[in-house]
Amino acid sequence: MRALVTGGAGFIGSNIVDALLDRGDEVAVVDDLSSGRESNLAGAIGRGAVLHRVDIRDGSALRAVFERERPEAVFHLAAQVDVRRSLEDPVYDATTNVVGTINVLEAARLSGVQRLVNTSTGGAIYGEVDVIPTPESTAPQPMAAYGQSKECAERYCDWERRLYGLSTVTLRYGNVYGPRQDPSGDAGVIAIFCGKALAAGRPVIFGDGRQTRDYVFVGDIARANLLAADAREVTGAYNIGTEIEVTVLELVDALRDAAGLGPEQFEPVFEPARLGELQRSALDAGRARADLGFSAQTPLREGIAATFAWARDAAGNGAAA
């Protein structure tokens, strides 16, 4: 299969690129490298992947890439993902996540793409809810502009499907973590804590540390994307998570163990809670199990150990973790 991955030089996107190459697919990547790293694709380019440095907000440049590559399947991950920046600059957030997605959809339609897998967010779309784990039937109530723009992008995917017949599916991720996540980047508390542990620093917790999230390993996310691409009759939005609530305090304990540190060596610093962040979040992944055959397979402590090992090796090699 010929595949194209937008945001493919990023943390999640580059893991999907590797998974596609592992099964023998031809892969092209679109990334403006504003947050993605070309180093994430070093192995993939050596295996035949092609990188196009293009901003998804540039519709004409994007269409030219699609016309050249003629992908059968598209995995759309390019996005503005920083919740704080979305609150500070909702126009920039919407231009990237809404207008950029429309550009991707139009380029896909005009070049004859057969399947598009859209990346969205679980907790940030649902907002504060009463039912946890939260099913897809829950009405979206985003607290941050990021969640609002992602919901809007989902609706444009549905619109393209209804009007033009473009086969689309959206995956709403839990909190993704794993190798290649940047501890100095836009998101990812586990990566940030890895960076603190390697620098002999202290983890910073905003709030009391009892807020929960559904942490899902990036290898499971990559597998979910491939399953969704192959299940072309499946449309709409699907939660991709573990269905397990984990507190930030539990993350600190797991990371401390992975790093071999004592309690006094990795004692958290507490700061005031941040505007727009949820108190509790976990995703009901029952529909993904039934329709895609997906279930998360990586236990949290195993995934954190793998993430820390990667960060330690990257730091030792002089690369950005």
Render each residue's pLDDT in the chain as its tens digit; 321 residues: 999 999 999 999 999 999 999 999 999 999 999 999 999 999 999 999 999 999 999 999 999 999 999 999 999 999 999 888 999 999 999 999 999 999 999 999 999 999 999 999 998 999 999 999 999 999 999 999 999 999 999 999 999 999 999 999 999 999 999 999 988 755 689 999 999 999 999 999 999 999 999 999 999 999 999 999 999 999 999 999 999 999 999 999 999 999 999 888 999 999 999 876 789 999 999 999 999 999 999 999 999 999 999 999 998 876 543
Q: Which of 253, 247, 280 is nearest to 268 (CA)?
A: 253
Q: What is the pLDDT of residue 187?
A: 60
| H-helix or E-strand spanning residue 2 | strand 2-6
Q: What is the pLDDT of residue 318?
A: 62
Numbers of helices and strands, H then E, in the chain: 13, 13
- Is the overall model pTM greater than 0.85, yes or no? yes
Among 146, 156, 177, 238, the one annotated catalytic: 146
Answer yes or no: are the C-beta atoms of 96 and 56 closer than 8 Å. Answer: yes
| Strand extents, DSSP E, 137-263 | 168-173, 175-177, 204-206, 212-213, 215-217, 236-240, 246-247
- State the number of CA atoms in the 13 A half-sphere of 197 facing the CB: 29
Long-range residue pairs from 91-97, CB within 8 A, at least 24 positions apart, any chain? 93/145, 93/146, 93/149, 94/145, 94/149, 94/152, 95/57, 96/56, 96/57, 96/149, 97/146, 97/149, 97/150, 97/152, 97/153
Q: What is the pLDDT of residue 123?
A: 84
296-316 burial, b for 16+ CB within 10 Å, e for fewer? Answer: bebebeebbbbbbebbbebbe
Dist. CA 312–CA 321, nearest whole Å: 8
Q: Label residue 226 exposed, middle or buried (CB < 10 Å: 0-12, 13-18, 19+).
A: buried
Q: What is the pLDDT of residue 277?
A: 77
CATH annotation of 2-178+215-243+279-298: 3.40.50.720
Q: What is the pLDDT of residue 319?
A: 54
Verify whether residue 156 is a known catalytic residue.
Answer: no
Dist. CA 176–CA 243, nearest whole Å: 13
Q: Which residue has the tokens 């009405």?
A: 139
Q: At what angle do helices 300-316 and 189-198 cross, to 10 degrees?
A: 50
Domain boundaries, the chain: 2-178+215-243+279-298
Give the total residue count for the chain: 321
